[in-house]
Structure 1
Amino acid sequence: MLRDLSQADWTRREGLVLLTAALGSENIRWVGGAVRDGLLGVAVADVDCACRLMPAEVIAACGRAGIRTVPTGIDHGTVTAILKDGPVEVTTLRRDVATDGRRATIAFAQDWAEDAARRDFTINALYAHPETLEIADWFGGLEDLAARRVRFIGEARQRIAEDHLRILRYYRFQTRFGAELDPEAEDACAGLAHTLKGLSRERIAAELLALLALPDPHPTIARMRARGVLPVILPEACPPQVAALARLVTAEAEQGIAPDPVRRLAALLPPLPDIAETVAARLRLSKAQRARLVAAAERTAQDAADPRALAYRLTPPVATDRLLLGGGDAGAIAGWSVPVFPLKGGAIVARGVTAGPHVARILQTVEARWVAEGFPDAARIDALLAEALAQAGP
């Protein structure tokens, strides 16, 4: 059962009251994710606003009300109002003039239903009056939301032809909100999967990682693989890797580890660093993401032997990835602070060893013993140093 939108905390934000007064309640409607999630009782961070005023009029009206604006997407009619309880994107009503599957040429409009018709799914085309919170629904979005059904507005193949990324958006939204599959949408996504090749790698990566960040993406990923969608964007993800994702999701839940999309992407790849490098480059991942993906691909059966030694050597996040992916227990390093090796070269020189490579070798020997013994206290380090010096000789 859907909630009354008045129960949603975000509807009582002071900034929204100020924005409504500035632009006029007859000119704006809250729309999209905030409305959808508010009806579901899900926490809302960002609020979007559809507006009948032109961008220049929005900027002027906000200026008169003392609200600072940023022209974040002015060419497409979007102005961001900076409010103390969070920014709000204000977008002038639009209609599509032409689309090519990657981008749309738009024209500004005045009709709420016309603006709603260009949105992707019925559950994303719900508009709320800023004062009464009455919902305007032209395409059965409320019924679909109550049924947990993700359905395209209009004919699915046509909507995908307008923007190929809607294939991946469908799978993400279906994973998050869907309880029952829409046969038309499923068939359209499978039939047009090849069109994903025309999208930028960055857009594909963003959607794929957003999907993998959801609580349990495995059933969807398995379905994408079976329907021929996943091989278009991630051909490396063969059935054994899809099964590995299922095991990882289970391990994260059992060990109380928060889901991580890069770790889950690693599960979908064979544990081969060269492949991880290739995928990271193809998806235009950040340097940090690439490094984690490659480090995860370097996992070995010995990782689980000493989790804290692994974390000391590789950092806890990387060790967590490798332990979970390898079937190990990451609980041993959960919340563990990596200790700092306290012995310095000066202490060795003070024992009569000439500064140089010999000092470095002794340091490495003592550190290795210290790690292997579970990071003992300073007294034990002194004993380990004494042993290393005796073995090294004069």
Structure 2
Amino acid sequence: MTAGWHETPGGAALLDALAARQGDTRAVGGMVRDGLLGLPIRDIDLATRFPPAEVIRRLTAAGLKAIPTGIAHGTITAVAPDLVAEVTTLRRDVTTDGRHATVAFTDDWQQDASRRDFTINALYAALPDGPITDFFGGIDDLRARRVRFIGDPLQRIAEDHLRILRFFRFSARFAGVVDAHGLAACTARANDLMALSRERVANELRGLLGAADPCPTVALMLDHGIWAPIVPEIAAGRVPILARTVAAEATSGIGGDWRRRLAALLPPDPAIADAVAARLRLSNADKQRMRLAAVPLGEGALLAAAWRDGAPAIIDRLLIAGEGGPDVAMLRDWQRPRLPVGGRDLLARGLAPGPGVAARLADFERSWVAAGFPDDPATVTALLDRAVAAA
């Protein structure tokens, strides 16, 4: 389950520093869950009885770097040359408002488990390879691939509205039994999503749409009105477009990009994609990716379009259109050629300096792209002469 990380010098020092073998620190959450499923462990998350100041003291004494990345909530990042781990003190919620929580530290494992979202995320494993503590039937839920809230789903959502999207993200990832009580609570509280920061929403959508096949979950969310408060532009008629995109990705051997898939769920209009990307406060690069992906494929030459908008944009359009295969393979290997001439070449042919140079260079570029990016000197010279003659 622990994938050998504890056998590295940094891992061994970490376990000794936090008295893991004595039971004061345990693996928790995703690393336990994914380890039981035989999935790769991406992050090392540990829960400890020691308060944050003591964690810092112990890590520093062991020669590990201690970074107070989330000190208000008891989280310290332990860093060694061969290790990065999140260490969080056991805690309980004091107040919650749906977006933030005020916590108090505790040494009670079950109290800490009780404040977590789903049973499959409230599993603790003794270190390095000891037994698992399961307070709420998370192992049975894991076997059923069932995402189930701990306690009353409505109460858990009231504590943190983002748990609505987490419910669907994990459901998409594990593709098992959908818990009826959880689904009903998410449906009833869907409008709570409007109170969340757009960055938190976008981060969850990134995980949801990055699942192997998010289509059933996306359709379920549409049926229950979950998309309306955050991306109302998504309509049921777009789910088949997402499905063919996912299928084309598989045919082409291309990983599922969440931005491409979100664009597939939107009407084929760059302005709409732009508005959604802005609402979710995506980076400029992500906004550009969605905007270009939303342009319909059209009938023009693929390489000419790739020259203009970039190969990744054309690959996105092909996949959204359900067209995987040779064209995608060709574009994956395509390197954008360098324009073989510049303004100096036009001036050398007697063209007067000024705006006309840029116009003639644009004429040459259009002809050169239409001709298939020739690089032999004779063809380049003929196209250049033609551009100069047009002046």
Aligned length: 385
Q: Secondary structure at the match of 2:47?
A: strand
Is contact 1:366–1:381 with CA below 8 Å preserved after alignment?
A: no
Distance in structure 1 (CA, Å) of the matches to 2:7 and 2:250: 35
Query: What residue in structure 2 maps to residue 134 of structure 1?
Result: 131
In the TM superposition, residue 315 of structure 1 has moved relative to its aligned partner by: 1.5
- Whether the aligned pair in 1 keeps the contact of 2:297 and 2:318 (CA below 8 Å) is no
Q: Deviations over 1:200-224 (max 9, x none)?
A: 2211111112211112111100110
Secondary structure at the residue paired with 2:336? coil
Alignment of 1:142-291 (within 5 A): 142-291=139-288
Say if 1:244 and 1:267, in contact at 8 Å, map to a contact too: yes
Corresponding residue SS for 2:333: coil
Residue 36 in structure 1 maps to residue 33 in structure 2: yes
Distance 1:309 1:267 in 2: 23
Q: Does the CA-based 8 Å contact 1:51-1:92 persist in structure 2?
A: yes
CA contact (8 A) 2:77 2:86 kept: yes
2:366 corresponds to which residue? 368
Whether the 8 Å contact between 2:6 and 2:128 is mirrored in structure 1 is no
Partner of 1:313: 308
- Residue 350 of structure 2 aligns with an amino acid whose one-letter code is G
- When structure 1 is superposed on structure 2, of 58-67 and 279-288 the one drifting more is 279-288
**Cα pair 2:119 2:141 within 8 Å, conserved:** yes
CA contact (8 A) 2:190 2:229 kept: yes
CA contact (8 A) 1:150 1:178 kept: no
In structure 2, what is the Cα distance between the partners aligned to 1:196 and 1:286?
21
Give the TM-score taking structure 1 as reference length. 0.93
User: Within the alignment, does 1:340 sit opposite 2:331 as a pair?
Assistant: no
- Note closer, same or farther for the CA distance 1:10–1:146 as it changes in structure 2 (3 Å cut): farther
Deviations 1:358-383 (A, max 9, x none): 33333222221211121112322122
RMSD: 1.8
Matches for 1:19-98 after TM superposition, within 5 Å: 19-25=14-20, 26-98=23-95
Aligned partners of 1:276 and 1:297 also within 8 Å: yes
Corresponding position of 2:112: 115
Distance 1:384 1:131 in 2: 70
Q: Which residue identity is paired with 1:332?
A: M
Name the CA distance, whole Å, in 2 between partners of 1:9 and 1:268: 41
Instruction: Tell me which amino acid in the other structure corresponds to 1:140.
Output: G
Work out the CA distance in 2 between the residues paired with 1:9 and 1:369.
59
Q: Is the 8 A contact 2:297 2:314 kept in 1?
A: no
| Structure 1: stretches of 5+ with no match in the other structure | none
CA distance in 2, matches of 1:144, 1:178: 12
Whether contact under 8 Å (2:11, 2:83) holds in the other structure is no
1:251 is displaced (CA, Å) by 1.5
Partner of 1:354: 352
Which is worse superposed, 75-84 or 97-106?
A: 97-106
Query: What is the CA–CA distance in structure 1 between the aligned matches of 2:147 and 2:5, rounded to whole Å?
Result: 24
Q: Is the 8 A contact 1:218 1:246 kept in 2?
A: yes
Alignment partners' CA distance in 1, 2:134 and 2:5: 20
CA distance in 1, matches of 2:144, 2:390: 74
Contact 1:93/1:110, CA 8 A, preserved across alignment: yes
1:225-277 superposed Cα distances (whole Å, 9 cap, x missing partner) = 01111122111101222222112111111122221111111112112233223
String of CA shifts for 1:120-170, please: whole Å, max 9, x gaps: 111111111113422111111112112212111122222112111111001
Match of 1:49, SS? strand
How far apart are residue 345 of structure 1 and its match? 1.8
Residue 383 of structure 2 corresponds to 384
Deviation at 1:11, TM superposition (A): 4.7
Alpha-carbon separation, structure 2, partners of 1:357 and 1:158? 66
> SS at the partner of 1:97?
strand
Paired with 1:198 and 1:61, the residues of 2 have a C-alpha distance of 39
Matches within 5 A, 1:4-15: 5=1, 8-15=3-10
Contact 1:301 1:326 in 2 (8 A): no
Given that 2:6 and 2:15 are in contact with CA atoms closer than 8 Å, whether structure 1 keeps it comes out as no
Q: Partners in 1 of 2:33 and 2:104 — Cα distance?
A: 26
Go from structure 1 to structure 2 and tell me whether the alpha carbon gap of 1:132 and 1:41 turns closer, same or farther (over 3 Å shift).
Answer: closer
**Does structure 1 retain, via aligned residues, the 8 Å contact 2:157–2:164?**
yes
Q: Which runs of 4+ in 1 moved over 4 A?
A: none
